[in-house]
Structures are given as C-alpha cells and as structure tokens.
Structure 1
Amino acid sequence: ALYKGRLEGRMEGHMEGGLLEGETKLLLRQLSRRFHALPNEITERVHGADPNTIEIWADRVLDAKSLEEVFSE
C-alpha cells in the first residue's frame, strides 16, 4: 500500500509538471504571435513562473496591448 501511494504521488507529480510545461509553451506561443519576438527576459520569466501566475498571464494576453500589460503586477 505504501509503495502504491508513493508511485501514485510520483505519477501525479509528473502529470502536473507536464501540464505546467504545456501551459508555459502555449503562453509563449500566444505571446510571440501577438507581440512577435520576445525578449529573453520574458521567456525566462515565463519558464520560472508558477501555475497560477501562468494562468493570470494567459488571461491577460487576450486583451493586452503590450507585453507590459501582460506582466504588470
């Protein structure tokens, strides 16, 4: 039972990591299509963000007129 729990926990962690990776990739694609070439600083910031922050930025990219609007605090 303990082994099964550990295995399920590891699988869940991999799935969450994969989901975050997919969300990160999608956000970067949306940003580059909307604002063209992205500065390295923005790419690094997106890669270092947590899932909640990625979701906030993904919502903002729909209406933002600039990268600054997407990433404003």
Structure 2
Amino acid sequence: MRTSFYHYLMTERDPHKKDTITLFANEAYLDVGFPKQSDDYQKISHYLELNGDYLPEMSIFDEAWERYLEKDK
C-alpha cells in the first residue's frame, strides 16, 4: 500500500527553500481541509481546483504528483 500524496508532500516542506513544490507543500500543511489520506489523483486535483487558492498553477500539482509516483516505485 502506498503512502498518501499528502504524506509524500510533507517530505518536501522546508522553511528556507522557495521552489514551487516546496511552497506548495508548505501551504498544503496549513490547509486543514486537504484530503490527507488520499492517493487518488482525481480527488486531490478536484479539491485543489476548488480550494487551492495558494496554488498558482495546477501544473505544480502535476509535477509534485509525478515525483510522488516516482518515489513510490
């Protein structure tokens, strides 16, 4: 069983780095409604489209998702 996307994303948090995925991870940490247990792309994508005001482009989520899948291999 793979870990949730949120669990992976939390490994990307860093208070000093300013790349887009790190900023996404830092903001997702503060988002109490984020689907923390999900590993479903569609569910998370839909959530972010409706609630992810902190995510300037969905392509950032797509890149993070690709890293998530690579890490799980």
Q: Fold-level match, TM-score > 0.5?
A: no
Query: Which protein shows a greater Rg?
Result: 1
TM-score, normalised on structure 2?
Answer: 0.29
